[in-house]
């Protein structure tokens, strides 16, 4: 049986600046409810003009049902537009939509592709999500070392990711922890090199 990314496992970024800090909570989808835009039509105009932050916010509004009727297909469509323009929060959310099969066909490979793109831009929410996927074996084989590495990366800006990493350490051997620390440095170097070169894929 094919592993599916768990509902509610993946978290959504909700701030226009990129991501909403420390999310990594398994019981919520939104860190807090998105606020309704006072002027959705202006936001929509910006999104239609190609502004990726506005496209992300429109996607978020459609997914949450704020300012507009909830519509997962429209949410995924707007996340896709912003994600294609390199918006890491939209990439994270689009990955979550694929993982849950909301507005798009459920696809573990697409979910992991978009989460990885966001994580490669230092999006801590996506890094935490990848850590959770590797820890739980959702969409990928269970790999505690890889889970540790992604949570460890996210832990630099997320207290919740640090808690996940620390809880994971309790179940790992000293060799696994050392391998996880080594993998963290490999990932960090890969991400930094990619960011320096201007690449997002």
pLDDT in tens, 45-59: 999 999 999 999 999
Judge whether residue 21 has pLDDT over 60. Answer: no
The CATH architecture of the domain made up of 40-197 is Alpha Horseshoe (1.25)
Question: Quick count: other Cβ atoms within 10 Å of Cβ 177?
Answer: 17
Give per-residue pLDDT as tens, 51-102: 999 999 999 999 999 889 999 999 999 999 999 999 999 999 999 999 999 9
pLDDT band at 32 (very low <50, low <70, confident <90, very high): very low
Which of 21-25, 29-33, 132-136 has the least mean pLDDT?
21-25
CA distance 102 to 87: 19
| Residue 196, burial from CB neighbour count under 10 angstroms (0-12, 13-18, 19+) | exposed
Length of the chain: 201
> 28 pLDDT band (50/70/90 cuts)?
very low
Pair 43, 54: CB distance under 8 Å: yes
Contact 153, 118 (CB under 8 A): no
Spans of all domains in the chain: 40-197
Top-confidence residue, 110 or 34: 110
Task: Give the pLDDT confidence score for residue 30 in this predicted structure.
Answer: 43
- pLDDT band at 10, cuts 50/70/90? very low
Predicted local confidence at residue 35, as pLDDT: 57
Measured over the CA atoms of residue 42, residue 43, residue 44 and residue 47, the dihedral's sign is positive
């Amino acid at each position: 049986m094919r592993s599916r990314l768990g509902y509610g496992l993946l978290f959504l970024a909700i701030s226009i600046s990129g991501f909403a800090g420390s999310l990594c909570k398994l019981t919520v989808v939104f860190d807090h409810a998105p606020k309704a835009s006072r002027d959705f039509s202006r936001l929509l105009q910006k999104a239609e003009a190609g502004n990726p932050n506005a496209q992300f916010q429109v996607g978020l509004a459609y997914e949450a049902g704020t300012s507009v009727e909830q519509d997962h297909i429209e949410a995924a469509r707007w996340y896709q537009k912003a994600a294609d323009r390199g918006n890491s929060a939209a990439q994270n959310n689009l990955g979550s939509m694929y993982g849950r099969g909301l507005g798009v066909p459920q696809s573990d490979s697409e979910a992991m592709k978009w989460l990885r793109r966001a994580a490669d831009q230092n999006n801590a929410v996506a890094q935490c999500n990848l850590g959770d996927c590797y820890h739980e074996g959702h969409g990928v084989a269970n790999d505690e070392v890889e889970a540790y590495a992604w949570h460890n990366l996210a832990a630099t800006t997320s207290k919740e990711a640090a808690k996940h990493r620390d809880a994971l350490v309790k179940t790992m051997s000293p060799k696994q922890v050392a391998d996880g620390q080594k993998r963290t440095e490999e990932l960090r170097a890969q991400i930094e090199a990619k960011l320096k070169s201007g690449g997002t894929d």
